[in-house]
Amino acid sequence: MAWPIAEVARLSGVTARTLRHYDEVGLLPPAWIGSNGHRYYEERQLLQLQQILVLRALGVGLSEIARILGEQVDELEALRGHHHRLLAERDRLDALAATVSRTITDLERSRKDGTPVTSINRPENLFEGIQPADIEESLRDFPEHAEAARRVTAAMSPAEIEAGQRERTARMVRLAERMAAGHPVDAEAVQDGIDAEYRTLTALRPISPEEYRAIARSLTENEQWRAAYEAIAPGLAAYQREAMEVYAAARLS
């Protein structure tokens, strides 16, 4: 049985554009191409796509995935290894959710009695469960942008990578605070935060308004991306998507 690229995109949750990119870089060629030029995938390709997406979810880059798949002999043993890493990732996300929950509690106390958060809790505890690979994974449906992010990261020191990740996480937490406080998505403070994120994106490579809107949609359409935002605060993914759409309409039109 064979599935056309549109159906594989629907089943897997990745875009047809990403599947074509995987073919172009030699990572996932289709089983065959029809006379109409459409790509078709069989069971073997679906199993390989599953492994690719699992490894991407674990923060592995495409070149490393190609190496892993090229050296792989036993698919069952490989899946056992992936399962082990997914369980470890689940534990990390649990730690991240606990970190944010603790920070919310600390912020509430800080605002009540004026005590600095870093006096209530050790500064290093603010970053438990946070890994730099998260931003690359959030861009996996935009391979050109993800590759640009990897190139920039490769030229950075570990301290610079950590600092950047801390700032991105801090922005997410600040946005969650504004959402919890009832700020509308077009509020100046919210839009200023969105502008800072837009500048971070365009520092990697120029993006068109259409691509920016597609990234905004992925906040709720990409399951893993949405889960990362929802781990910080329920409804945060939709809130940021709406804020980005307002930003695009107001500043990118």
pLDDT tens digits, residue range 23-40? 999 999 999 999 989 999
What pLDDT score does 251 carry? 92
Q: Residue 246: pLDDT band by 50, 70, 90 thresholds?
A: very high
- Residues 231, 228: Cα–Cα separation, whole Å: 5
What's the pLDDT at 103? 67
Tokens 């990409």 label which residue?
222
pLDDT at 190: 94
Distances (CA, A) of 233 to 32, 106, 107, 180, 181: 44, 15, 15, 9, 12
**Model confidence at 153: pLDDT above 50:** yes
Output the CATH code of domain 3-72: 1.10.1660.10
pTM of the full structure: 0.50
Position 96 scores a pLDDT of 66
More confident residue, 144 or 249: 249
Q: How confident is the model at residue 119 (pLDDT cuts 50, 70, 90)?
A: very low
Question: Where does the pLDDT of residue 67 fall: very low under 50, low under 70, confident under 90, or very high at 90 and above?
Answer: confident
Average confidence (pLDDT) over 63-69 = 82
DSSP state of 42: -
CATH number for domain 130-253, candidates 3.90.950.20, 1.10.490.50, 2.160.10.10, 3.30.300.30: 1.10.490.50
Burial 52-80 (b: 16+ CB within 10 A, else e): bbbbbbebbbbeebbebbeeeeeeeebee
Residue holding tokens 């990234």?
215
**pLDDT at residue 5 greater than cutoff 80:** yes
